[in-house]
């Protein structure tokens, strides 16, 4: 006899309250989506306030019922990521040493005359790094160029590396097991979204420019969500794979966030 039927039989014999039977049978109804694991919570643990079950989600899913994929902006644009969390291999200094294109300026949609990061022209292996201060799911990156003296400057292609400790980094790979090269931008202001094929767990994220127009000038945002979906589900992609309609846009939508963004989805 299955567990739910056995519990029902026992409850019938013991005159259990209907609410108790429902609680005992809740996971048999499969309330968790996208492969999430339902686990019943005992009355002693949950009390009368919390639900009688919890969903443990597969990697990259979030929400009370694992109903969403996490693609929440992590804080470059809105400042939740502090200046001290952003570093780079080098900095370009221009205009007689008065303009410093430092990494903390590399925030999506930042305005101003000096409003982005650019590495030194002598830097043969430039990178910019974000320390998230904790492990998170990283699901994508949003990139944007900038201008200097009316000249368009932007990344045409780049690679992404990630780390748990800030010392040992792994690159994202393509189907041929080579370092994946992501498509960048085509002018100074257009926003381009790259979603990863598989979410990665990381505290440190680096972008490595590989091909640039005029200079490797960058503004960007990271996408992802908290590891613990129950703590903070976040604003995420639907289980059907549709980009969210707030905060940034796809080719078919228009919202105040990432104005005119185009999206590259790698198998998400």
The pLDDT of residue 6: 47
205 contact partners, CB below 8 Å, separation of at least 6: 129, 130, 132, 138, 141, 160, 161, 162, 222
Alpha carbon distance 155, 192 (integer Å): 11
The angle at the Cα of 225, spanning 223 to 227, to the nearest 5 degrees, equals 140
Sheet hosting strand 236-238, strand order edge to edge: 61-62, 68-70, 236-238
Parse the chain into domains and list their residue ranges.
37-68, 70-229
The pLDDT of residue 263: 54
Is the CATH code 2.60.120.260 the one for domain 70-229? Answer: yes
- Where would I find the H helices in 103-258? none
The pLDDT of residue 51: 64
The pLDDT of residue 246: 37
Of the chain, the end-to-end C-alpha distance in Å amounts to 40
Q: What is the DSSP letter of 143?
A: E
The pLDDT of residue 25: 67
Provide the 3-class DSSP secondary structure of residue 150. coil
Query: Looking at the DSSP assignment, which residues form a beta bridge with residue 131?
Result: 204
The pLDDT of residue 95: 83
Reference 140, options 76, 82, 194, 91; nearest CA is: 194
pTM score of the predicted model: 0.70
**Angstrom distances, CA of residue 48 to CA of 21, 22, 42, 144, 245:** 15, 14, 11, 49, 36
Per-residue model confidence as pLDDT tens digits over 198-233: 899 999 999 999 999 999 999 999 999 998 743 333
Alpha carbon distance 106, 183 (integer Å): 18
Reference 106, options 122, 126, 129, 123; nearest CA is: 129
Query: Looking at the DSSP assignment, which residues form a beta bridge with residue 128?
Result: 88, 207
Per-residue model confidence as pLDDT tens digits over 114-169: 999 999 999 999 999 999 999 999 999 999 999 988 899 999 999 999 999 999 99
Residue 148 burial (10 A CB sphere; 0-12, 13-18, 19+)? buried
Per-residue model confidence as pLDDT tens digits over 42-57: 765 444 545 678 888 8
Query: Residue with structure tokens 């198998």?
Result: 267
Question: Are the C-beta atoms of 81 and 75 separated by less than 8 Å?
Answer: yes
Q: Write the DSSP assignment of 106-166 as a string of letters.
A: -BTT--SSS-SB---TT-SS--EEEEEEEEEEEEEEEEE-EEETTEEEEEEEEEEEEESSS
Query: Looking at the DSSP assignment, which residues form a beta bridge with residue 75?
Result: none
Alpha carbon distance 249, 184 (integer Å): 16
Question: Are the C-beta atoms of 156 and 190 separated by less than 8 Å?
Answer: no
The pLDDT of residue 13: 45
State residue 5 phi and psi, 5-degree precision: -70, -40
């Amino acid at each position: 006899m299955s567990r739910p039927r056995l519990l029902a039989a026992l409850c019938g014999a013991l005159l259990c309250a209907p609410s108790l039977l429902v609680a005992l049978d809740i996971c048999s109804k499969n309330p968790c989506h996208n492969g999430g694991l339902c686990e019943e919570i005992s009355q002693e643990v949950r009390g009368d306030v919390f639900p009688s079950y919890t969903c443990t989600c597969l990697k990259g899913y979030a929400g009370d019922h694992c109903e969403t994929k996490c693609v929440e902006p992590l804080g470059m644009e809105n400042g939740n990521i502090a200046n001290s969390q952003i570093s780079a291999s080098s900095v370009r200094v221009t205009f007689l040493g008065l303009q410093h294109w430092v990494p903390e300026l590399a925030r999506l949609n930042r305005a101003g005359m000096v409003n982005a990061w650019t590495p030194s022209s002598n830097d043969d292996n430039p990178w910019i790094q974000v320390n998230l201060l904790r492990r998170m799911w990283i699901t994508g990156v949003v990139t944007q160029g900038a201008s200097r003296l009316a000249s368009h400057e932007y990344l045409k292609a780049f690679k992404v590396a990630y780390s748990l400790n800030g010392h040992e980094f792994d690159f994202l790979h393509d189907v041929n097991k080579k370092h994946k090269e992501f498509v960048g931008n085509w002018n100074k202001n257009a926003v381009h979204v790259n979603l990863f094929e598989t979410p990665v767990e990381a505290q440190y994220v680096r972008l490595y420019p590989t091909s640039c127009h005029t200079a490797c000038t960058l503004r960007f945002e990271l996408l992802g969500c908290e590891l613990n979906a129950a703590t903070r589900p976040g604003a995420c992609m639907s289980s059907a794979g549709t980009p969210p309609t707030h905060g940034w846009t796809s080719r078919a939508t228009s919202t105040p966030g990432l104005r005119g963004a185009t999206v590259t989805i790698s198998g998400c």
